[in-house]
Amino acid sequence: MNKRLKELRIKLGMSQAELGEVIGISNFAISSIERGERNLTERNLSLICEKLKVNRAWLENGIGEMFSDELPLDEFTSLLADIDANAKEKTREFLELYWKLDEKSKKVIEDLTFSMYENFGEKK
């Protein structure tokens, strides 16, 4: 299970600290679990599956798909899963901050981004 936990974390583009925050344990605990020095508790296993929409059978035994078919990924988790695990941290931080904005603020950022893109395209 430890290797699959690490695989999941990398697929989602999460640091050990971020995964630990999701389930309420330290990054050191996540590191210990990934190295096989500790096991996931029943509580933490359930929280990972619930909050990250992970297929429990996959996480426990490697059976089936990584993510649960019954509960689709939320938009942000899905977006993180599509980002290459080696993406720069600043990009990830930006996406997290953007996601927390209200719809009006998101619209301002989108308009600014498209305006910059259009201006850049005209200068080529």
pLDDT tens digits for range 63-109: 889 988 654 456 666 666 556 555 656 677 787 888 888 999 989 99
Amino acid at site 9 = R
Query: How far apart, in whole angstroms, are the C-alpha atoms of residue 113 and residue 56?
Result: 39
Is 119 part of a structural domain of the chain? Answer: no
Amino acid at site 41 = T
Give the residue numbers spanning the domain of 39: 2-87
Is 112 part of a structural domain of the chain? Answer: no
CB-based contacts of 95, cutoff 8 Å, min separation 6? 76, 79, 80, 83
Is 15 part of a structural domain of the chain? Answer: yes
Is 24 part of a structural domain of the chain? Answer: yes
Q: Looking at residue 76, which CATH number applies to its domain?
A: 1.10.260.40
DSSP annotation of 83 reads S
Distance between start and end Cα atoms, the chain: 50
Average pLDDT, the chain: 83
Tell me whether residue 50 is exposed, middle or buried, using C-beta atoms within 10 angstroms of its C-beta: 0 to 12, 13 to 18, 19 or more. Answer: middle
Distances (CA, A) of 95 to 50, 53, 54, 55, 114: 22, 20, 22, 25, 16
Is-above-0.85 flag for pTM? no
Res 122: pLDDT: 59
Is 116 part of a structural domain of the chain? Answer: no
Reply yes or no on whether the pLDDT at 28 is more than 70: yes
Is 110 part of a structural domain of the chain? Answer: no
Number of domains in the chain: 1
Is 122 part of a structural domain of the chain? Answer: no
CB-based contacts of 39, cutoff 8 Å, min separation 6? 1, 33
Is 121 part of a structural domain of the chain? Answer: no
